[in-house]
A and B are shown apart, each in its own frame.
Chain A
């Protein structure tokens, strides 16, 4: 411990720290409430807030969800005359990021449970409340949107009491949009959320709950000091890997980075230590000093394993090095993204990428397109299969292309998830029908209050990664929500289905399907491809095959007529633009054999109308 550190000051500060998160379903008002709290404490102006706040990425704003975690330090003058230090730790709101949420919550002592007064509790909210309870957080129920005509506060209170068992006597009634009830929220945070425990003189234990990439300073972890203190110049050690780094800066986010001399127990901030490799900063890891070192890491660390895989290929093969660079850059920010080179006969050189889930995959693809401007072809997502071979060995297959020959396979297992769906009761029939179609196995059903139902199914993850989310939305007019957790591997009657275009197997279009659904799916894929592939100079047959046996077929007829009818003096410029457009369209397609196949064809296996 450095002599310059004033132990009394650290302890006095520690008593005034309140660390909390906001738990809410999408659209229930998490970001709006966060904005109000920041406004209330005059942390930043509303305009600054728009520009840089909690949801900083465009994609997050568009989707109304938070992907990347942020933590902000706020100063609040309480009625007792003391100034309290709030750390608002934001959490992502999607099932793909459950682990990150749990680590963010582990950095807190309390959580605001925000529930929409008109909508009630959703599956995702419930899942996160359980995570908060796992982390022993003080939960403050906040009922939002009480100004809506459809608000039913008593019903929502009863929901919270019945489902979670939380006392709602002191629940705060607010309208974040109108700024109603914010002061009461602040008061309850001070009064109910405990000050962080932790001994400033103990060896350092700091929890990594997020990290950011800065092109000049490397990977910057977001940390919560649990025990001990941290200051500039310390040599720190990552407890999962044992790697050491020298700290060149520490500080807090307000939300600008503000350097500090030291951080003590309960503090939430960042550190800069010239860390170059994203894999060195794992969310959930514990940072200690090289000496003296903590004897054990904080509980709860686990290395995240991707659940969903797909191939990403540049449309223009010249972009391959750029794609590698893009993936490397994205990985700096997101260690859960993994990738390795893949070579497809149809699509050339690309990468096999692993993601935490479907949303994670979509976001990464969108970012590569937007931030790096690389035209991409994504193949249909796959899960990891356990393939037991006749020779007694087991291999893991995350790419249909690598599936062994049928005669070598003894059995195939696929991952299942336990899916918890919440829905207004009028859609429960639709949703159960959907789950049955998706090979779901019914587990339980509970009424939540009088109008909502919770249904639990065991469903193959494969079915979830196909079009489950979209279907769920259309089957419930958008009202149903889903949360899922991995539930082990089960043996299934699975087959690899190949797609042939113009007589050639297109490896990138191969899919794994359940044998009972293969015929139907093959037919649907052929029909879909027929509409997506443009007409060529020749007829293009499209076929679906199960180990060389054709089970479905369609034909793209030959191009018959494509010529400008008129071309006089006046039209030349315009007609040339038309030709340019035609050429540009072709550039956006991938030539497979001698057939131009558009991008969307490679995902055609996903969105089939049943």
Chain B
């Protein structure tokens, strides 16, 4: 299994919490960047990819022609991928765009909904309004793009349990096939963090955030979403194949500024500078900013334990020529503490373990 990731670092609005590579750029810069992406994509030869994931930033903020070229090239390079997903802002979904997605072969659209609360959307500096979400759903469905995934953020400043419940119910009503719920993180170098340092906004306290998480799991499970990863829920088998292969220790190649790759036992990351990336590709130089070793079992465990099904220990032992329990005696301790469970040869986080995952990840 192998995935292909393409990063589009452009946005029309900068969300207060976002620390990914992103920028508001003029059209000519977007065009030069897309030219570079196409060139880089075309250089990947003689490989096939099971998934293509176009992320950002905001891929949907590229104009019709530029976005079309990216999608077309990516699918051509991947050679019959099973999943072709793109991240979109709800207000960017027009009938033209949706038809193009369908025509070119996109089969999964992830909408950055975050919340339905107008006040909160404004506080996050999102470009869309809550009504845009419903409209995006109908447009996508009208062209036959039913595989819609949604990102939701919780523990927003000032958000109550009740507010979150409203968000969840509005979402369930729209019946997306996949829901990701992320706790708001105050990352350095964001507007949110800047305001936090000046005492203008405070993170939700840990107890409230835990309570929210528990409510999400309960509510979505009741609405027959399968909780399959710490922050992810899917109807039936509509899991994110691309993310799944990342969690399952498979290889992926990232194209674009700031994109990361894992190939065999090597990880590398591209420069975060957009101009730097364009120049490197133009001059036939490597855009890589760093290369590091993939830390075998450690990475496999940190990623694999995120999945509710956990890690199949005999498979892992074979892959890394090891004996997991002997190599990491602390696993037993975490089992005693009730954070890990071992069942049917699989090691997985318990319900409490999913709330305290870092206490488990740190032993590897």
Enumerate chain A interface residues (CB-CB to B < 8 A): 535, 537, 557, 559-570, 572-573, 575-576, 579, 582-583
Contacts and interface: CB of A to CB of B under 8 A. Distances in A.
B356 interface: yes
Contacts of B183: 561, 565
Contacts of A565: 182-183, 185, 230-231
B187 to A, nearest CB: 10
B356 A537 contact: yes
Given A561-B209, A563-B230, A579-B361, A572 B258 contact: no
Nearest to B354: A563
Interface of B: 3, 5, 20, 182-183, 185, 206-207, 209-210, 213, 230-231, 243, 246-247, 252, 254, 258-262, 267, 269, 290, 292, 295, 298-299, 302-303, 306, 337, 354-359, 361-362
Given A561-B213, A573-B269, A567 B355 contact: no
Nearest to B20: A570
B259 to A, nearest CB: 7
Contact of A562 (B207, B259, B355): B355
Given A564-B361, A566-B182, A572-B262, 6 more contacts: A561-B213, A564-B358, A567-B302, A570-B5, A575-B302, A583-B362
Contact of B252 (A561, A569, A575): A569
B267 A572 contact: yes
A579 B210 contact: no
B355 A568 contact: no
22 contacts: A537-B337, A559-B206, A559-B359, A560-B210, A561-B206, A561-B210, A562-B356, A562-B358, A563-B230, A565-B183, A565-B230, A565-B231, A567-B247, A569-B5, A569-B246, A569-B252, A570-B5, A570-B260, A573-B292, A576-B295, A576-B302, A579-B361
Contacts of B298: 576
Contacts of A579: 302, 358, 361-362
Nearest to A559: B356
B269 A566 contact: no
Contacts of B306: 567
Nearest to B181: A565
Nearest to A583: B362
A582 B363 CA distance: 11
A566 B359 contact: no
Central interface residue in B246, B247, B299, by most chain A CB within 10 Å:
B246
6 A-B pairs with least C-beta separation = A563-B357, A560-B210, A561-B210, A565-B182, A565-B183, A570-B260
Contacts of A572: 260, 262, 267, 299, 302-303
A563 B303 contact: no
Nearest to B258: A570
A585 to B, nearest CB: 10
B275 to A, nearest CB: 20
Contacts of A535: 206
A567 B247 CA distance: 8
A570 B259 contact: yes
A583 B363 CA distance: 9
A568 to B, nearest CB: 6
Contacts of B290: 573
Contacts of B246: 568-569
B332 to A, nearest CB: 16
Nearest to B357: A563
